[in-house]
Amino acid sequence: MPEFDRHIFVCTNQREAGAARPSCSPDGKGKLHSLLKDKVKAAKLPGVLRVNKSGCLEQCEHGPTIVVYPEQVWYGFVQPEDLDEIVEEHLRHGRPVERLRLAPECVNTESCPHRPAEIPRVDPPPC
């Protein structure tokens, strides 16, 4: 199977200190991404998986954020200590980690209760 069996995006967006919305990777190091990448590699999971960096996934109030395709499962508030469970339960056994899932009304909606009322329209700087 040459195509990605699972494609995982880890938000590594960094905003300037004092920005209106929080950052998934405030120090800009993308540590969650590199940790997950290492853990997936070490787990020797079957199939082809890619752990991808992403820019802002627009889930800033839920960060750090991870999304897993093809099942389109969104995780929020992910900490390094949650990654083993995601790797074993979700990526190995196909059972999403329910306690970390974002509620459907929080994903890509204006009605998410975690969002500030006014979100300034400032695109991140070119990389």
Partner 1 sequence: MNTRNLFSRLFGEKALPAVPREVYVCTNRRDAAAGKPSCNANGTRELLAQLKGKVEAANLPMVKVKPSGCMDHCEHGQTIAVYPEDVWYGFVRVEDLDEIVDKHLRRGRPVERLVLAAECRNTESCPHRS
What's the CA gap between 50 and 67, in Å, rounded?
A: 12
Residue type, 127: C
User: Is residue 123 involved in binding partner 1 (CB under 8 A)?
Assistant: yes
What is the pattern of x (binds partner 1, CB under 8 A) and - over residues 71-110? xx----------------------------------xx--
Q: Which C-beta is closer to partner 1: that of 22 or that of 109?
A: 109
Spatial contact of 61 and 114, defined as CB atoms under 8 Å apart: yes
Instruction: Name the DSSP class of 105.
Output: G
* CA neighbor of 67 nearest in space, from 48, 89, 52: 52
Q: CB of 115: closest distance to partner 1 in angstroms? A: 14
User: Is residue 58 involved in binding partner 1 (CB under 8 A)?
Assistant: yes
Residues in region 17-56 near partner 1 by CB under 8 A: 48, 50, 52-56
Q: Which C-beta is closer to partner 1: that of 50 or that of 84?
A: 50
Q: How far does Cα 25 stand from its chain's mean position?
A: 11
Q: How many CB atoms lie within 10 A of CB 28?
A: 11
Of the candidate residues 24, 36, 57, 60, the single one contacting partner 1 (CB under 8 A):
57
* CA neighbor of 87 nearest in space, from 46, 58, 56: 46
**Applying CB under 8 A, which residues contact partner 1?**
1-5, 7, 9, 12, 48, 50, 52-58, 67, 69-72, 107-108, 123-124, 126-127
